[in-house]
Amino acid sequence: MISNSQLVNKYFRHNKKFPHIWCPGCGIGIILGNMLRAIDALALDKNDIAFVSGIGCTGRAPVYVDFNTLHTTHGRALPFATGLKLARPEMKVIVATGDGDATAIGGNHLIHACRRNIDITTIIFNNYIYGMTGGQYSPTTPHGDKAYTCKLGNIERPFNISQLVEAAGATFVGRTTSYHTLQLQNIIKKAILHKGFSVVEVITHCPTTYGRINKKGSAVDMLRWQKEVAVDKSRADKMDPKELEGKIITGVLMERELPEFCEQYDTIIEEAQNQQQGKSK
């Protein structure tokens, strides 16, 4: 496996001013690092990778890494990525998006990208909160938890992202946490190789906002919590629902084969051109 210094040398932009913008203890760097390890393990050409993001802490990930990088507007990474993928079907398009970006302001785009089954890998960094704006509740903030716009407790029920995207038509759904780094690499690898719309939900931590207001302790405490609540799908399948209460099932949750959008569009082009040639004969 690639060493950390090799990873930094190979994938980080040398002409970008560091340090990065993330807080000490943030989980985003762990996910980004393991995404790079997954890409390296697949031996993909950097020229063939487009890394697209929306707005928020997660939205800042692309600028540091040496791919074709596109930092779009809030919630809109997926439609930008959709246009890019159609223009460049040979490229691997990877989207990084947070829970608010993906499921609140970008929720409509998310379900439609799932439905279309376009060959894009979407990594959703789910830390249960809007971090960059200082800790407001998001569509995944657990019921009863606090945020700076619900100090008395969240009265809204959260989305289960993995269930949402599966219902919407995604053809690959994986979930893991920022604690389970090897599993994270493996799932991202599988998601990138999957032909169709793949979603990887990564449960992660924001010690600065969500952690602080909900008294979850340090970043290490929050990682420990991720370790404790995660149950691998192979084990979860044998457990009864009572035992699984409060647990997070991880692993490749679902994979299916359905026609991919760009490939289908290619057949439309072929058919349209055949029809036209028929007309001109």
Partner 1 sequence: MSRKSSYQLMQGNEAVAEGALAAGVNFFAGYPITPSTEVAEILADRLPANGGKFIQMEDEIGSIAAIIGASIGGCKTLTATSGPGFSLMQENLGFACLAEIPLVIVNVMRGGPSTGMPTSPSQGDVMQSRWGTHGDHPIIVLTPATVEEAFQYTVKAVNLAEKYRNPVILLMDEVIAHMRARVSLPPASMVEKVNRVQPNMPPEWYLPYERSATGVAPMASFGDGYRYHVTGLVHDAKGYPTANPNECRDNIRGLFTKIERGFREICMVDYECMDDAEHAIVAYGSMVLSARSALEQLRESGCKVGLIKLGTLWPFPRFALEQYLPQLKTILVPELNMGQIYREVLRVNAGKAVIEKLNRVNGTLITPNEIVKTVKGLIR
Site for partner 1, rule CB under 8 A: 13, 15-17, 46-48, 50, 52, 62-63, 66-73, 76, 78-88, 90-91, 108-109, 112, 265, 268-269, 271-273, 275-276
Q: Which C-beta is closer to partner 1: that of 155 or that of 269?
A: 269
Q: Which C-beta is closer to partner 1: that of 29 or that of 142?
A: 29
Going through the chain in order, the beta strands assigned E by DSSP cover 49-53, 68-71, 92-98, 120-126, 129-130, 136-137, 172-177, 198-203, 230-232, 248-255
CB of 93 to partner 1, least distance (A): 9
Distance, in Å, from the CA atom of 149 to the CA atom of 119, rounded to the nearest integer, reads 36
CB of 48 to partner 1, least distance (A): 7
Q: Which C-beta is closer to partner 1: that of 42 or that of 86?
A: 86
Q: Which C-beta is closer to partner 1: that of 4 or that of 273?
A: 273
Beta-sheet pairing, 198-203 with 230-232: unpaired
CB of 221 to partner 1, least distance (A): 32
CB of 262 to partner 1, least distance (A): 9
- The H or E element spanning position 41 is helix 28-41
Distances from the Cα of 279 to the Cαs of 189, 236, 265, 268, 269, in angstroms?
46, 58, 21, 16, 15
